[in-house]
Amino acid sequence: MDSFNPKLILVPTDLSDPAAHALRYASALGKRLGAHLLVMYADLFLPPIDFTATAVGVFDASRDELAANAREELQAHAEQNIAGDVPFDVRVVIDDPLDAIVEQARSSGAELIVMGTHGRTGVRRLMFGSVTEGTMRIAPVPVIAVNKHTSESPDVTKVMSPITFTPASRDALRYAAALTGNDDAPLVVLRGVGEDDAQMGAHELARLEAWLPPELMQRCHLQLVGGDDAAEEIVRLAKRTHADLIAFGIPAGRSIADSLRGTRAERFVQRSECPVLTVNAYASGVLS
């Protein structure tokens, strides 16, 4: 991309405290970028499982009323967490939350999604899934995910970017670089290698140098990361070096092991003390 200065930011919320935290971050980012926020809440508004067939008919008649009540609550939620000088709209969608977020991102013209995460892990993730996790995997635009530990400040002066040599990884680095708003802000580019393999380390550094976008070459600081859990080491390194943003390209596809443990990007989001920007293969234009 030539530049990245989003003017419409989609902010999905479930009205929880983590979502409110993310909304305040989005508000500060919107103010910094001069962007408009579209705050959305999605729900199927399904009847309880113990409803009788006749009661379901009554419930259907009241679904619009439930959505109207949700809109009032969403409006209050937005007014409480968005700065007075940041323009916003609210929208309630009767649909599955993940489907609704992806559709709204496509139809609204949003250029960025900002959302919170509850950090679900293990079997609960496999059974119920995570809307934030799903959004990171299939959203058509970049996603910034924040958890309750991350700062609400949108200032980005130092970026850390683990590299997987994919187009999505390259785009994540470029998006993050643009969000710094400073051509001199450092970009720490990371690549995981075996701790005892010096030859492989030298090979990976050379590979990184050849792969980096030419326009960002002077800003990039290359670093190898070893250890059994590269994700955990990257989170620790981001904390030690006071990184403001981790940027990561999500590979296409996932394994059963990823479903149980969480993909690398999801573990970054759960453990990171700074926001995490992700770009998947759809958002980078690799997949149709």
Residue for token digits 């983590």? 18
The top-level CATH class assigned to 159-279 is alpha beta
Containing 277, the helix (H) or strand (E) segment is strand 276-279
In the block, tokens 């030859």 appear at 199
Task: Supply 200's token pair.
Answer: 């492989």
Per residue in 102-139, pLDDT (tens digit) is 999 999 999 999 999 864 444 444 334 478 888 999 99
Query: What is the distance between the alpha carbons of residues 41 and 71, in angstroms, rounded to a whole number?
Result: 8
In angstroms, rounded to a whole number, what is the distance separating the alpha carbons of residues 8 and 11?
10
Residues forming CATH 3.40.50.620 domain(s) in the chain? 8-146, 159-279
Residue 57 has pLDDT above 90, yes or no: no
Number of other CB atoms surrounding residue 40 within 10 Å? 23
Q: CB–CB of 55/47 below 8 Å? A: yes
Helix, strand, or coil (residue 219): helix
Q: What pLDDT does residue 120 have?
A: 47
pLDDT at residue 94 tops 70? yes
Lowest mean pLDDT, pick from 52-61, 64-73, 124-133:
52-61
- 8-146: which CATH topology? Rossmann fold (3.40.50)
For residue range 220-277, what is the model confidence (pLDDT) as tens digits? 999 888 766 677 788 888 999 999 999 989 877 665 455 445 666 666 787 889 999 9
pLDDT band, very low/low/confident/very high, at 203 (cuts 50, 70, 90): confident
